[in-house]
Every structure is written in structure tokens, then in C-alpha cells.
Structure 1
Amino acid sequence: MRPALDGGGAQSHARNMQVHLIGELGAGKTTLVRAVLRALGHTQRVRSPTYTLVEPYTIENAGGAPLSVYHFDLYRFADPAEWEDAGFREYFDTGALCLIEWPQRAGGMLGVPDLWIDLEVDGEGRKLTARAMPCPMLIKPFRSIESAATAPHRWRRRQILRAGASTLLLGLAVPRIAHAASVLGVRVWPARDYTRVTIESDQPLQNSQKLLQEPHRLVVDLDGLDLDQTLKDLVAKITPNDPQIQSVRVGQFQPHVVRMVFDLKGSVKPQVFTLTPVGSYKYRLVFDLYPAVPPDPLMELLAQTQRKEEALEQQTVPGATLSGPAFAMPSPSDGTTGRDALAGIAPQGGSRVSPNDSSDAFFQRFAQGGAPPSPSRGGSAPKLTRVPPSQSGTIRLLTVAIDPGHGGEDSGAIGRGGTYEKHVALDIGKRLRAKIDAQPNMRAMMTRDADFFVPLAVRVQKARRVDADLFVSIHADAFTTPEARGSSVFALSERGATSAAARWIAQKENASDKIGGVDFKTRDVTLTRALFDMSTTAQIRDSLKYGNYVLREIGGINKLHKGSVEQAGFAVLKAPDIPSILVETAFISNPDEERQLNSEAYRDQMADAILKGIKRYFAANPPLSKNRMA
């Protein structure tokens, strides 16, 4: 094989090339690299980079300069940002051949490879598929690989190595044979925050784009592509209520070049990037269209507060406003308990505060600016005392950040009956928001209010932007077996998970950025790490208290998976100054609980239970005074 490779110029073509090796554990990626290095002329030991992350090699070339080869294994990376921190980028600027196992662990930071190789276990043999970029080439598996599964065992491994190495090196030597890519799907996710357009294909798509003004348009050319019905379907996927896109036109601009023209409703800041295969997705070309002036969650919350003030001013109870004179609660010396005093006050919506819920008295008394009243045994009628304007102040509004998990490209778990976790979480989140907003002294902010993806760090940043008092992330559990059932509440852990199941669930939820799609090249890594590295000791302590109140209420409507708040390293719970919990409402992978999650009554009960837990936590742990926002 070596003389043939020398004659084919494989070493020359291999310089400054990047090869991605895709396949599950045991698929044979490292074995293939060993065969390639041997074929290129390396005669020394080939070590696995499982623990070292990268192994360097220098291969002498009689006809020219030596060839440098770097063999990477990124399996141990838990966050794509670790690739950036490891300082590996310089290896790709030396003219070397870079062979990368588990490239998906680096997110989109590696960019588009020159050669992509997929290894799959096929019986007792292996199936190898290779594609060369940038002008994609599909190299069909060699006949020797196809026949390997039926060949005697002593030949199968040797045939795979020879055919695999030859396939890889053939791709290095002749990487520019054209082959049109296939588009597997197009999806549009409109939202006020941004609109995402995703084009999924079997190969990376080469593209160029330009932004035009008067009128606002985004012109995109897709190279190496022929117009088909899937691309034509993009036109019908643009809805009238899309905040960013008015319409789209798609056509064959040149041979093997498809042009898309997005007619925009205003000025946008586009972000365009490619996502490598992950989960059930193949390659995804992503267009994120952000409005030139992005919505500010704080300003939206202030507008919501003003609307609530106007609504409260129309209530029959005088003075129950957010910024005007307020009623003073009777002091314990009056012989009246806070619960008695509040029993006759109708909050927004007209329903009376239940005298059976002692947390309401404590909660509303604090919200009006004072300390929670101490219960006493007095039984006199309620006495409401008008506070002079000079003594009254703005009511202290308590802000709860609601985070419906997943969204957009990230569907979350999917039940056997086809129920999507992202839809369940959003519906329960909206119900909880309505219930919180119905409280006279509370308000809610949602990290997403529609079906679109929000990166984990952005969810935390949104909550901090509005100075939230509490944060609750809503999910629906899934496990590898359908027998698992029950609701759970989780808090952050700095010292590892409290159980193997908690660790597994945290890893699944933390994978949201990879599946939902984050452009790691434009992400502010410094800001994200600074946020997550801040001390969270006090936050964890308060989160456990908060979680216990919520867990107790949820236990009244569903079986608990575990009777205590569990802990794990959930990225979305890492706001250092906001008590934060993650609620797994039920196991969507359990057929009975999936039916529960599809019940409007159960979703409403779950929202009620979370609200009751929140109110009980506030009653027992009044938050410190903050700058009041009227």
C-alpha cells in the first residue's frame, strides 16, 4: 500500500487537512487511525489519546518536508468551551494532518472538516462511509468492507483496516470530486427574541450571504446543491406572525447553486453557522436572525408591572396599588392575625385569599413593605388602617423567573405516545405565569414564551437581568426504562450528584445547547464562565429550602420519585444570586404519566402546586429589600 500512496501523492494532499471520525464507542476509530499512520509510513507505536487528548506524530518524507499528524480524542470534553480553553486551535494552523475522534464534543468550534468518516458496527464487521469537503464527495464503502461481515474472522479485521485506510487516503488524494448534497429538512422557529431557520443535510453546506437595505433582505447562496421540493417547502413555512421574516424566495440561481432571498420586516443582525451531527440530527446550517434592537426582559417586565398597577387601581379595595397609598396590616397588638386581616381582601381576579393558607398572610404583609406579621390567637374582626401618603411606599413586588425547558430544535424527551417535553414544559410554564400574575404582589418573567430555543446561559442571564427573586425550570423526566415514575425537584450541587439518576438527568438536560444549537464561536465564553464560577454556596442552601416547599406541594398531586430534593450540576441552575430549582413534573417515558402530562387538569394542578410552594418559601424566608420597581 505504501508505494501506491507515495505515487498517489497522499502525503502532499494530507497537509493542512482536518478529518472528523464519527462513530460510537468500539466502532473502530482508533484502529482506523493506526492503519492510516502505518500506511503513511509511521513505524513506531501508535498510542490512544483517550487520556492525553492529543498524540503528535512526525512522518518522514523522502521527497520533501516531514508530515506532522495530530490524533485527537475529544470524548472527555463535557462542554465545547473546553476545546477553546485547551489551546488546540494552534495545532490546526501548522499545516498538519489532524485526525479527530468525537469532533461533536467541540460543538461547532472545529468548523467544517475536509473529510468526514462515519464508522458503524455492522454485525461482526464495520460499515465505513466517507465524504470529502468542501466540494462534497461520497465515497461508497469498499467491496472488501461489504464482504467482511461474511468473510472468515481472521480476514475481517485486516480487510477493514486496508479498505478503511485506502478510503481515507483516497479522499485525501482526490478531495474535489463533486457530488450534490441532499437536504433532509427545513425548519423555521419564529420568536420575538430571534427567528431561526435551519437547513438539515447529509453533508455540510457551503454558503455565502449578504445583507441588503431598502428594503431589508438577506440573500443566501448554497453551493453544491440542487433545488428540490424540501427546499421549496421553506416558502410555506414562513408565517404571517413571524417578527423578523416577511417572506422568502427560493430558486436555482446557477447550476448547483440555490439562492434564497429572505424579505425582512426590519433591520436584523444575522448569525450563520454550521452544527455537526448530534443525536438524531445530521449537519445543520443555521440562520439566526436577531432584531437590530433586541427585546429587553427588564423593560418588558416594567411594562407588565404598569399594566398590573392599572388593573389594581380598578379594584374595589382602596389603596391596593403598586405605587400609591397602601393599607397597613393591623399589628399583632390589635389582636388580629395576619390571616384574619387578609381573609376579606380580594386579590386581582376577585377571589378571596383563603383563610386556610397561612402563607398568604405572611406573603402579602411582606409584599406591602413590612415584616411578616407574627400569628396571634386573637379573633377580632379585620381592621384595615389607611396609611398616610407620606408613610406609604411602593409595594415590594416579588419576581419569579419561569424557565420552560428545551424548545425549538431541542424537543427534549419524547414519550411513546408522541408527547414532546418542550410542549408540556411551555404549557405548564404559561399556566404558572398566569397564576403568579394573578397575585397582587407577584409578577412572572418567562425565559421563553413560544417554541424556540434559548441557550442555557442566556436563560440564567435573563433571570438576572430582571433581578428575579426565584427561578424555576420546568421539565418532564425520561429514563431508559418505562417503569420509572414520579415527580422530582432538583437543586444545584457543587460536589457532584446525589445519585446516579440525578447525574444522568443533569447530563441529559445540560446537552440542550448541543441539540438546540449554539454558535460557540460567537458565544461570550469569558462572561459565561465568570457567571458560572461565582460562589453558589448560599444560593444552594436557599435553593434546597425553596425546593423542599415545592416538593411538599407536588407530593399532594403525584407520587414523588424521591422524597427529598436531589442535587446535580445543572447548568441552568447556576445563577449565583437567585435561589433556583428544576422541577421534573413526571416521567414522560412512563405511559401512565405521559397520559397525566397530556391532561389539562394535571398541568393546572402542577402549576398550582409550584405556586403554593413558592408562596410558602416566601412566607418563611422573606427576601431582602431590593430597589423597588413600580
Structure 2
Amino acid sequence: MRRCSGQRRMAGLIAACCLGVSAQAQAVEVDNMRLWSAPDHVRLVFDMSGPVNANVFTLDNPDRVVIDLDSTDLDFDIGKLDLDDSAISKVRTGVRESGGLRVVLDVSRAVAPKSFTLPPNDQYSDRLVVDLDYPGASAVKDPIDPIEAMIRDQEIAAQRAQTEAVAEGNPRKAEAVASAVEAQPHPRRDIIVAVDPGHGGEDPGASGPDGTHEKDVVLQIARKVKQRFDQTPGFKAFLTRDGDYYIGLRQRTLIARQQKADFFVSVHADAVRSAQPYGSSVYALSQGGATSETARWLAASENQSDLIGGVDGNLSLDDKDEVLRGVLLDLTMTATMNDSLATGGQVLDQLGRINKLHKSSVEQAGFVVLKSPDIPSLLVETGFISNPREEAQLKSPAHQAELAQAIYEGIVAHFRQHPPPSSLLAWQRDQGRGSASNEYRVQGGDTLSQVASSHGISMKVLKQANGLDSDILRVGQVLTIP
């Protein structure tokens, strides 16, 4: 009996040792940490060998954020983290008394932490994402002037009232609202354009054969687009992101609405498995789905960004009348889509002058970033980053400038033909309408074809009337309109 009891005791010790070894073998390792600083938050991502349980909380005096990870070891040099432009002043780590990893973030301002985990995908292993939001901060570095925003608010309210009158079958009311808007003094506001560089942060987008990331080249192009608009009287642009950080797809459209944007353009670079396809494409929203199998696949792949970023949301229509909601949404969306398609045609025409077009007409797909019912929106695929030749072009500052100019000229051409009632462009048009000399003064970004088209004449007639030997115009030049 004693011998049997000893054998049992020995077996138990062996089993306990085996369990201990098994528990150690199952400990999760943090093998990388990545940090991105945005104007309104900082995101810290832990790349791990497996899933973990995490507890995130704050401490005062001094302000700290504590991240406790159960059964976790650290295999990363935290000194590699770049804390510049973030609320995190220092990162400290240690082993908890109960086991596991403790990460302490010393912060220099008030933060509101939130966290979530993400399962492995094609790009990353298991991840813990910790976002430190800055209460009251804006996601946009250069917010639109509040006076311009107020003017845009008044204009949207008037347009909505007119739409409701049409939905109610009351044309006289609609005409009265339109007359009231026209009777107001011209504030000559700027037309506001939201320029959206796709992807960002832990979502690199597509990658080229030479390792070029989509998120980097589209940010460079988007900055050039913004610069062109800001150089043009009557326009002002802002970027939904101006750095290497992630913004959710719904958040991008929300930023555009908060900034009272008149137009939204999202800049991307295409990619497929084959290295052969090349050329630019332009997409507008489709209510009934994509217009081709390629467009449907592309829409689905782009929308996967929200799975990478861990963001979700729904467009709210709570501010619209309950009874008229369906009708208003249909009317508004139809008008918005018509403007999007018309502008898309202008952008595609400009892109075709500098680059091969992958699609000769504006495609339509269900991209999340295009789903603002009241903001005309486009998604521009500047080229195929998966094509070695186009990858090299997309990295070229000169080619980026040409792409930016094409996007800019296409959008400007649309607004010169259809300026918002309270805009500087509308005032300029109205001033020209009453001019006996039929003269037009060239603005920044004007092309001969745009001026001719906006006045309903051909380029040949316009050149003959002004004795022009070339298509080149200079800012301030006065043209006679026959």
C-alpha cells in the first residue's frame, strides 16, 4: 500500500510539472508594438502570438493608462516606439505579481481609452488595439472657418426645405423657398472639398511588387490635390487624414459632413493578383449594386478596411422627417448621385489626358465612403500599384502632381458649370451674365476647354475670338466670349 501511494504521489508531481510546462508554453508573446498619432487620438497596436484577455484602465496623479495582459510575455523593445506628436510621454512595462504583462502609458493630456481585439488575417496575427481619444479634439487639423460652415448650414437647410416641398407635391412652396435663397445677399463663400486619402496606419492598403504601400502614395497625391484647391479663389479643401493613421470608413464621411463639404473625393490605388492590368478608374455610388463583377469585387475588398480597423457605424437619418424619410432619401440620393456621375465624367476625362484609363466610363459600386446621401462623392483609383510600371509612376512626384491636377480640374470644371447659389463662383457667374462686353477673367486652374464648355461654345470658336495660337491660359487673362 505504501508503495502504491508513493507511485501515486510521484505521478501527481509529474503531472503538475507537465501542466506547468504546458502553461508556460501557452503564454502569449507580444512580438511587436505599433503606434500612430492622429489629431484627435493615438492608436497603440499590440501584435501577439495568440489571443489574450486585456484590462485597460486609467490612474490619476499623475495621469496614466494601464494595460494588463493575462499570461503574456513581452518580446519587443519599447524604445523603438516613436511617441512624437502623441499624448503618450513615456511607456513602461513590468511583470504583474499574479503573472502576465503590465504596460503603463504616461500621458500628457486627458484621454479616453477604449480597446478591442482583432483575430488574425492575411496581414497580421492576433492584435490588441488601444485607442486613446482626445476629448473635444477634431480629427481635421485645419477645420473650415465657422462662418463658412454656418453659410453652408443655411444653404443645406434651404435645399432640404425645397426638397420637402417637392416631396409634398407643393411646387409653389418650392419656388418660394428657392426665391428666398436667391434674395439673400451673396456671402460669396468658398466651395469646400473633402479630400480623403484611403487606408492609413495599420491598414496599408494594396502593396506593389517593390513594396510600395497604397496608404503612402495616396496621401502624397491627396496633399497635392488639397494644395491645388487652396490655391484657387473660391475653393477650400481639407484632408480627412494628414498622416499615417487609420480612420474608419464611416468616420471619413462623418468628417466631411462636420466640415460642411460640398464634395468628397477618396483617393486610392488599385491592385489585382496579376501584374498586367493598368490604368485609372473613377467610381460613384450605385444603389442597386456594382455595375460589373470587377467593381463588386473591388468594393468588397475596399470595405474590408473596417474589419482591419475594427470600426463600425451606420449613417443616421434621424434629422429628417419620419413620414418623408424614404421619399427625401430617394430624392436627395438621386440628385447627389447625378452630381457624382457628372463630376466623375469630368475627372475621368482629365485623367485620360495623362494616363491610360482602365475603364472608359464612370463605374458604380457600393463603397462605404460614397454613401453620403447629401454630399456628391467619388472614389478615384489613380492606377494599379500591382503593375510594376504604374507602381514606379505612383511614387513619382511629377506623376503625382499630374494626377492631382486631373482630379482637381475635373471637380472644378463641374462647379464652374454648376456653382452653389451662395458661392464665389456663382457670384462671378452672375457678374459676367450682366456684362455688356461678354468678358471672362481667367482664374487659377482654368483650362481653355473648361472656359469654352462653361460658356457653351467650342474651343475653336473661343480661340478664334481671342486670336489664340495655343491652348495655354494665364491667370488674370481676359477672354472675349462670343
TM-score between both structures, scaled by the size of structure 1:
0.55
Residue correspondence of structure 1 range 232-381 to structure 2 within 5 A? 233-242=77-86, 244-254=87-97, 256-295=99-138, 297=140, 300-302=143-145
Is 2:412 the counterpart of 1:599?
no
C-alpha distance in 1 between matches for 2:315 and 2:198? 24
C-alpha distance in 2 between matches for 1:262 and 1:485? 46
**Deviation of 1:305 (Å):** 7.6
SS in 1 for 2:102: strand
**Deviation of 1:550 (Å):** 0.5
C-alpha spacing 1:220/1:574, structure 2 compared with 1 (3 Å): same
**Deviation of 1:184 (Å):** 3.3
The 8 Å contact of residues 198 and 219 in structure 2, kept in 1 or not, is answered as yes
C-alpha distance in 1 between matches for 2:130 and 2:317? 22
Please name the residue that 2:288 is paired with. Answer: 495
C-alpha distance in 2 between matches for 1:445 and 1:181? 42
Is 2:38 the counterpart of 1:191?
yes
C-alpha distance in 1 between matches for 2:419 and 2:302? 30
What amino acid maps onto 2:418 in structure 1? N
Query: Residue 346 of structure 2: which of 549, 558, 572 is its match?
Result: 549
Taking every aligned residue pair, what percent have the same amino acid on both sides? 43
TM-score between both structures, scaled by the size of structure 2:
0.71
C-alpha distance in 1 between matches for 2:108 and 2:263? 36
C-alpha distance in 2 between matches for 1:551 and 1:214? 57
Query: Residue 439 of structure 1: which of 226, 229, 232 is its match?
Result: 232
C-alpha spacing 1:530/1:592, structure 2 compared with 1 (3 Å): farther
The 8 Å contact of residues 502 and 568 in structure 1, kept in 2 or not, is answered as yes
Is 2:476 the counterpart of 1:476?
no
Residue correspondence of structure 1 range 428-467 to structure 2 within 5 A? 428-467=221-260
C-alpha distance in 1 between matches for 2:291 and 2:138? 38
**Deviation of 1:527 (Å):** 3.8
**Deviation of 1:592 (Å):** 0.6
**Deviation of 1:251 (Å):** 2.0
**Deviation of 1:526 (Å):** 7.3
SS in 2 for 1:396: coil
Select the structure with the greater relative contact order (CA < 8 A; seq sep ≥ 6): 2
The 8 Å contact of residues 491 and 582 in structure 1, kept in 2 or not, is answered as yes
SS in 2 for 1:617: helix
**Deviation of 1:213 (Å):** 2.0
Report the number of matched residues: 367
What amino acid maps onto 2:203 in structure 1? D
Please name the residue that 1:419 is paired with. Answer: 212
What amino acid maps onto 1:545 in structure 2? A
C-alpha distance in 1 between matches for 2:120 and 2:145? 41
C-alpha spacing 1:467/1:287, structure 2 compared with 1 (3 Å): same
**Deviation of 1:203 (Å):** 1.3
C-alpha distance in 2 between matches for 1:288 and 1:411? 18
The 8 Å contact of residues 248 and 263 in structure 1, kept in 2 or not, is answered as yes
SS in 2 for 1:595: helix
What amino acid maps onto 1:190 in structure 2? S
**Deviation of 1:464 (Å):** 0.9
Please name the residue that 1:504 is paired with. Answer: 297
Residue correspondence of structure 1 range 217-232 to structure 2 within 5 A? 217-228=64-75, 230=76
Deviations 1:95-135 (A, max 9, x none): xxxxxxxxxxxxxxxxxxxxxxxxxxxxxxxxxxxxxxxxx
Please name the residue that 1:214 is paired with. Answer: 61
Moved more, 293-302 or 593-602: 293-302
Please name the residue that 1:85 is paired with. Answer: none
Deviations 1:459-499 (A, max 9, x none): 01111111111110000000121111100100000112111
The 8 Å contact of residues 409 and 517 in structure 1, kept in 2 or not, is answered as no
Deviations 1:523-582 (A, max 9, x none): x55749999994322211110001000110011110000111011111110010111000
SS in 1 for 2:144: helix
Q: Whose Rg is larger? A: 1
**Deviation of 1:584 (Å):** 0.3
- Structure 1 runs not aligned, ≥5 long: 1-135, 140-175, 307-369, 372-390
The 8 Å contact of residues 137 and 179 in structure 1, kept in 2 or not, is answered as no
The 8 Å contact of residues 226 and 255 in structure 1, kept in 2 or not, is answered as no
**Deviation of 1:447 (Å):** 0.8
C-alpha distance in 1 between matches for 2:405 and 2:375? 21
C-alpha distance in 2 between matches for 1:627 and 1:404? 27
Please name the residue that 1:87 is paired with. Answer: none
What amino acid maps onto 1:237 in structure 2? L
What amino acid maps onto 1:236 in structure 2? K
What amino acid maps onto 2:296 in structure 1? R
SS in 2 for 1:604: helix
**Deviation of 1:396 (Å):** 1.8
**Deviation of 1:256 (Å):** 3.4
| Higher helix proportion (structure 1 or 2) | 2
C-alpha distance in 2 between matches for 1:615 and 1:439? 9
C-alpha distance in 2 between matches for 1:137 and 1:412? 42
Query: Residue 417 of structure 2: which of 620, 623, 626 is its match?
Result: 620
